[in-house]
Amino acid sequence: MRLSIMRRISQFFGIVLGLFGATGIGMTHIIFPGLHCYACPLAVTICPIGLMQNLVVYGTFPYFWIGAIVAYGLLAGRGFCGWFCPFGTLNDLLSFRRVRISRPISYSKFVVLAGTVVAAWAFADTMFCKICPAASLEASIPYLFLGVAHVNRPFVVHMITLGLTLLGMLLIARFWCRMGALLSLFNRVSFLHLTLDTSRCGRCSDCASSCPMGINPHEDHDDHNCIKCGECASACSFDALKLTFAPQITHERNARKVADERRAQQGSRDGS
């Protein structure tokens, strides 16, 4: 099965989990591995960014939150952005062209994440939730149709942030996402990762042309901006890039061994 089809199926299950409250199940203590508003009428999972802010406001040490983030990070890193997050799926569907961003600017998501924590502490409130585009789409609009919410200042603010996010989806969702910033810390060590066989790579840049995040996988695979969607691996005609699920240390060691053996074989052929 092609990676793109597998990814669409996985994204579908991400949406199903996000709306699992339709089955009648109430709120659980499961932290969602992506950006998803727990105020959504059909939510059964907790928003990791919303919970983070509440923990800061109440001064509670986040044992459970840290454990969940580390587990998700080690499992797939930002792979959840490309394979499971409903807002990531929306971003995927609305982004029709590749956009490159300078590397220094790509680190601004960590500044935004730190600002979210500082704002929660300074104002003793979940400030990001008041402008979160996921909350706008999954909570404000549904509650308006249910007759619970009204068109007031908070609602208008949410609609403005949602509109700006949709207009600047390529920049905001891909490079300023707080959850993406958290998961990107594990991109170099997560089980789901890209491998590059340098002995096969033709440096043709087909992978870079296909990358929805505008990075160069043949130069720096598993970069902190990489969502591990596998588009680069599918585009590689030399079969140099592969998306795999295994401990990175073991897999990289085996990859180097295979590459060394190929170089040795090539050297022996050239010598003969």
Domain that holds residue 265: 193-271
When the pLDDT of each residue in the chain is averaged and rounded to a whole number, the result is 86
Using the predicted structure, report yes or no on whether residue 102 has a pLDDT greater than 80.
no
> ∠ CA(164), CA(119), CA(89), 5° rounding?
40
Confidence at residue 254, expressed as pLDDT on a 0 to 100 scale: 52
Same domain, 69 and 8: yes
Same domain, 248 and 136: no
Residues 6+ apart with CB under 8 A from 59: none
Percent pLDDT > 70 in the chain is 86
Same domain, 120 and 30: yes
Using the predicted structure, report yes or no on whether residue 78 has a pLDDT greater than 90.
yes
User: In total, how many domains does the chain have?
Assistant: 2
Same domain, 147 and 202: no
Residues 6+ apart with CB under 8 A from 233: 3, 194, 207, 241, 242, 243
Same domain, 139 and 267: no
Which 3 state secondary structure label does DSSP give 243? strand
CATH number of the domain at 207, please: 3.30.70
Same domain, 48 and 88: yes
Same domain, 49 and 27: yes
Residue that is last in its domain, among 150, 184, 218:
184
Same domain, 165 and 213: no
Tokens of 184: 């990107």
> d(Cα 227, Cα 212) in Å, to the nearest integer?
9
Output the CA torsion 216→220→70→244 (10° steps): 80
Confidence at residue 148, expressed as pLDDT on a 0 to 100 scale: 87
- Mean pLDDT for 43-52 is 95
**Digit-coded pLDDT (tens) for 179-222:** 999 999 999 999 999 998 888 898 898 998 888 888 888 888 88
